[in-house]
Amino acid sequence: MKIHGESAHSSGLTTPRLNIDDGGTHSGAWVSLRDPAVVDILAAEGFDWICIDGQHGGPETPDLQPLIEAAHLFGVPSIVRVPGHEAGTLGRILDAGAGGIIFPTVENADAAVALVAATRFPPRGKRSYGPTRRSPRYEKPAPGNRQDDVLCILMIETAEGLANLDAILATGPDAIFVGPYDLSLSLGMPLEELTAEGPGGILADIARRCSSAGVTPGIYTGEPELSEKMISLGFRFMPTASDTGLLAVAARATVAASRQPTAEKIPS
């Protein structure tokens, strides 16, 4: 679709896409800081995807486009967790080039239908066409081309959302993303108990139901050991690290090493 007055030139850059339907597992990095240099560092190390947290993280809507483009320059797909379900904010984030959207706190099929529609151009949805913010650096999405659809990822993080999971799955999202912290609070059980359950537990049941419905299951983990366990339960994409977590772990290790007794550091 041509926009009057747009440039006929392009940088030739393509928007990287995350294929969550390939049967593999995809390790991501979670970004809560608003400096694009943070995304540069993480994307350069080869994570499969970068999620920019616009709900609980530092980035505001005007910060998102430079963060998205920092990931794309390294060929790493971008996903944004949006602050809510408001259509105006969502449209600006989609126009900025996000390759996927994580919607928080989806609790029923009516909300799910509206959110899926908001990420799809007519006639399959209600997304407004106006991708001028990212032109001419990247090719614009083509309405009607399913290959240009962004990933619509719905968060299950409350008891109500869990109770309505099958109805939510029937609305046709690309993926479900479990928020275990809020889900454990809503269910009235410790986080450690929820994540410690095995193949017969709540999380494994969510993953099975998603897979049976043809919807890819994901979950927030934030560290490799828990990620491995969630993969064994059937989850297929998760952030295995976060920017703030990596910084804290590295700082803690450095401080601990610097406080070792001097005698232990002097070779005999």
The model's pLDDT over 22-48, given as tens digits with 9 standing for 90+, comes to: 999 999 999 999 999 999 999 999 999
Distance, CA of 30 to CA of 26 (rounded, Å): 13
Which of these, 78, 102, 58, lies nearest to 17 by C-alpha position?
78
Is residue 267 scored above 80 in pLDDT? no
Is residue 166 scored above 60 in pLDDT? yes
- Among the options 4, 56, 72, 85, which is catalytic? 56
Task: Please tell me the predicted confidence (pLDDT) of residue 113.
Answer: 98
* Residue that the structure tokens 């001028």 belong to: 132
Is residue 112 scored above 60 in pLDDT? yes
What average pLDDT is seen over the chain? 91
The 10 Å CB-count burial string (b at 16+, else e) for 152-168 is bbbbbbbeebbebbeeb
pLDDT over 90, % of the chain: 79
C-alpha triplet 158, 87, 216: angle, nearest 5°: 50
3-state class (DSSP) for residue 81: strand
Residue 221 Cα distances to 30, 181, 193, 215, angstroms:
10, 10, 14, 19
Is residue 99 scored above 60 in pLDDT? yes
Rounded average pLDDT over 162-188: 98
Residue pair 67/36 in contact (Cβ under 8 Å)? The answer is yes
Q: Is the overall model pTM greater than 0.75, yes or no?
A: yes
Give the least confident one: 76-80, 220-224, 255-259: 255-259
Residue pair 6/136 in contact (Cβ under 8 Å)? The answer is yes
Which of these, 156, 177, 175, lies nearest to 216 by C-alpha position?
175
Does the annotation count 56 as an active-site position?
yes
Which of these, 224, 229, 263, 228, lies nearest to 242 by C-alpha position?
224
Is residue 3 scored above 90 in pLDDT? no
Q: How many C-beta atoms lie closer than 10 Å to residue 102's C-beta?
A: 25
Give the least confident one: 10-24, 43-57, 217-231, 242-256: 10-24
The 10 Å CB-count burial string (b at 16+, else e) for 177-189 is bbbbebbbbbeee
3-state class (DSSP) for residue 129: coil
Q: How confident is the model at residue 14 (pLDDT cuts 50, 70, 90)?
A: confident
